[in-house]
A and B are shown apart, each in its own frame.
Chain A
Amino acid sequence: MATAEIFFEHERWSRNLAWSLGLHVAVAGLILLYAVVGPSSHGAGWGAGGGGDAIGVTLVNTIPLPAPAVQTENVLANESKGLTQSLPKVEEKEKEPEAIPIPDKDVKPKKAPKETSTKRQKPQPEPVEANNIVPFGQGGPVSGPYGTFSAGEAKGGFGFTGGGGDFGTRYGWYVRVVQQKVQQSWLTYDVDRRITEAPRVYLTFDVLRDGRPSNVQVEQSSGIPSLDQSAIRAIQRIDTFGPLPSDYSGNKVSVEFWFDYKR
């Protein structure tokens, strides 16, 4: 009796195995088939991902943005001159001043004396009195080795033209992040103490898709090595600016950043 039962189970088991094998092969086949046929539908949605690992997330993208695949070709057809000239960026910088920046650059040296007068004194041990008590009304945020440039002297502006992309207008918030982060990480005590004022340093660097800065270069030196170095270090100190906007299709953004130094 018992043996008969065992036989029975053996028979059943092999049958199940056959089913299982068949199903696995079918699933594998389906995956392969999807890999071959799928990508067209897969490519359309990749840019929409929010990139977060939140629970049960579906991204609600309400901007009726055209799908990237087709339209970029159109854009290229239209603006390719500007778009593909990524190498001769120096030329473009020369072109650019016809809009806003040139008056700025001209005005800058004249404005300089004013700013030195309004400049905040560098906080050193002296605000702290012997008894460690900060006088009434003088509390609030410290400005120490960081945040050296929280000055309210808003001058100049930033242009995002150049290469022809519209990154600056579409993602103004990201530009502000870049600006804020570089400014925060610039520690000016690296600079030679005897220097009180210096010409602008222009740096260029790329922000990669994941937000890492790379390829930092001095585009125009100030003529003061320690100042150039401190500017480069400000960028190198930054791990990430945060990933580029998820619906931005490029894989990097180039940044030109200038540093005005005054003591």
Chain B
Amino acid sequence: MHRLFKWLLPILLFSPSTFSQDWIRTGTGLGVEKVRLAVPDFKASTQDAKNTDLLKVFNDTLWNDLDNAGIFDMVSKSFYPLGPVGSPPDVKFEAWSAPPPNAAMLAFGNLGASGNTLTVQGWLYDAKNVTSPQVLGKQYQDAATTDAARAIAHKFADEIIFRLGGGIQGIAESKIYFVSSRSGRKEIWAMDYDGANQHALTHVGSISLSPRVSPDGSRIAFSSLTRTGWDILMYSVDVGRLVAFPRFGGTNLSPAWSPDGTKLAFSSSRGGDPEIYVVDQSGSNLKRLTSFKGPDVSPAWNRKTGAQMAWVSGRSGLPQIYTMEADGTNPQRLTEEGYAVSPAWSPNGQFLVFSWIRHYGPGAPGAQDIYIMDIASKQWVQLTHDGGRNDFPYWSPDGRHIIFQSSRSGSEQIWTMLADGTNQKQLSFAGSNTQPNWSWK
């Protein structure tokens, strides 16, 4: 009897209730703060000589990914209890959840190389929940190289962000495409989201601008100066070279993929006046959307629905941001003053980010800054201030970050920030780097 009770008790206490109707009761005004996350350095699990380097890369990458995510309040390492935490038995809950670190969540684990194999075990614990703390437990295996260690750190960080960030995929594995002149010509370059691994993609040898990667990440459309003028070119990421795309005549600029990847919008002056056109992703079935005197450029699809488009029009004088349905009907003007360019639609379809000189003209200071506008209410906020010209903003796939180009450091460089304007960081340093574009996932 006693034995039976001993066996039953933990079951009664901890078992999940299959048929229960679980309720959560909660509300607004409860003071939602960022999750306090502690990430002690991972511990070496083997005696391999490579461990030191791999651990350093892994720990730095993981910390940066989580720090950049924008949803965590990272607990400073100087507050951590002494002693390494490499596996669940090492966790002393009171030491982590009590005031000095005061951590709500704890990410820890171990890493070890043996021969050419790298094994990483990682856990995410709810530090204040002693009875069932585990939120996540993962094991990864890959080659024992620093690149693999970085990749695993990205994956583990993304898992944590996915769980604690409300089901939004992390961006640690996303890519950024941009224009760089560091080889002498303006070519299309690519880099990891954190600025690592910068490398050239195209070698067209003229001037290439405004890269836009397709939603599946397989192709990059950009505009380039060719023998016949400015044309839309197509670069295949899969085969690593340019692939055929029709030429339309006139000046063709600023391509933009529809969110389902079946269509490409761009600006073309083939009929005289620059207007917005749409073609299928193969280049066929050309259709004109706008027809009004004055330039129409820089289309940007509603990334959630694909049913609307924002663009820049000079029909009323200075360039302003407009929206229309994807078939060209119902144009609406969003900005009422100044000089507004480079719209980009947020992944949730709710906001536009754009670059705006609100007071433009003689006597006005003319600062060019990044703004976000809520489309439904036309309420806007200013994200950058007091620092050079800021242009070409673009959203990260999680909608929490914005990448843009800024001249505040003296030359045009790529910067990122959180979508609330905080945490501004410079990603590129060599040469001049402009017109960033973030991959869709």
- A residues at B contact (CB < 8 Å): 50, 52, 54-63, 65-66, 68, 70-72, 74-76, 78-79, 82-86, 89, 92, 96, 101, 115, 123, 128, 130-134, 139-147, 149-170, 172-173, 175-183, 186-187, 189, 200, 207, 211, 237, 239-243, 245, 247-250, 253-260
Contacts and interface: CB of A to CB of B under 8 A. Distances in A.
Contacts of B134: 61-63
A260 B16 contact: no
Interface string B348-379: 10110000001100000101010010101101
A240 B169 CA distance: 11
Nearest to B356: A132
Contacts of B422: 140-141
Nearest to A212: B167
Given A207-B24, A237-B350, 5 more contacts: A132-B369, A144-B372, A149-B28, A241-B166, A248-B16
Q: Is the interface of A mostly helix, strand, loop or mixed?
A: loop
Contacts of A71: 11-12, 15
A59 B135 CA distance: 12
Interface in B133-154: 133-142, 151-152
A186 B28 contact: yes
Contacts of A75: 11-12, 15, 17-18, 20
Contacts of B155: 52, 54-55
B279 interface: no
Interface range for B: 35 or more
17 contacts: A54-B159, A55-B152, A74-B15, A75-B15, A75-B20, A76-B18, A76-B19, A84-B19, A84-B21, A134-B386, A165-B23, A173-B135, A250-B16, A255-B26, A256-B23, A256-B24, A258-B27
A144 B12 contact: no
Contact of A147 (B25, B152, B165, B420): B420
A98 to B, nearest CB: 14
Contact of B28 (A79, A163, A182): A182
Contacts of A140: 421-422
B351 to A, nearest CB: 8
Contact of A149 (B32, B136, B365): B32
A200 B27 contact: yes
A67 B296 CA distance: 62
B404 to A, nearest CB: 15
Interface in B43-84: none
Contact of B17 (A72, A133, A245): A72
Contacts of B27: 156, 158, 179, 200, 257-260
Contact of A57 (B139, B351, B383): B139
B99 interface: no
Nearest to B29: A260
Interface of B: 8, 10-12, 14-32, 35, 88, 104-105, 121, 123, 126, 128-129, 131-142, 151-152, 155-156, 159, 162-168, 348, 350-351, 358-359, 365, 367, 369, 372, 374, 376-377, 379-383, 385-386, 418, 420-422
A57 to B, nearest CB: 6
Contact of A72 (B15, B126, B135, B139): B15
B28 A144 contact: no
* Those 3 A-B pairs whose CB atoms lie nearest each other, nearest first: A242-B167, A86-B21, A165-B22
Nearest to A104: B27
Nearest to B27: A258
Contacts of A260: 27-29
A122 to B, nearest CB: 10
A118 B350 CA distance: 29
A259 B377 CA distance: 21
B54 to A, nearest CB: 16
A83 B19 contact: yes
A123 B303 CA distance: 27
Given A74-B11, A141-B420, A55 B26 contact: no
Contacts of A68: 15-16, 18
A142 B139 contact: no
A66 B14 contact: yes
B386 A177 contact: no
B123 A62 contact: yes
A54 B30 contact: no
A3 B377 CA distance: 85
Contacts of B8: 74
Given A177-B165, A253-B22, A131 B365 contact: yes
Given A172-B128, A241-B166, A255-B23, A158 B30 contact: yes
Nearest to A189: B377
Given A74-B11, A170-B132, A183-B28, A123 B381 contact: yes
A130 B86 CA distance: 55
Nearest to B368: A132
A83 B12 CA distance: 13
A145 B386 CA distance: 22
Given A164-B17, A170-B16, A178 B24 contact: yes
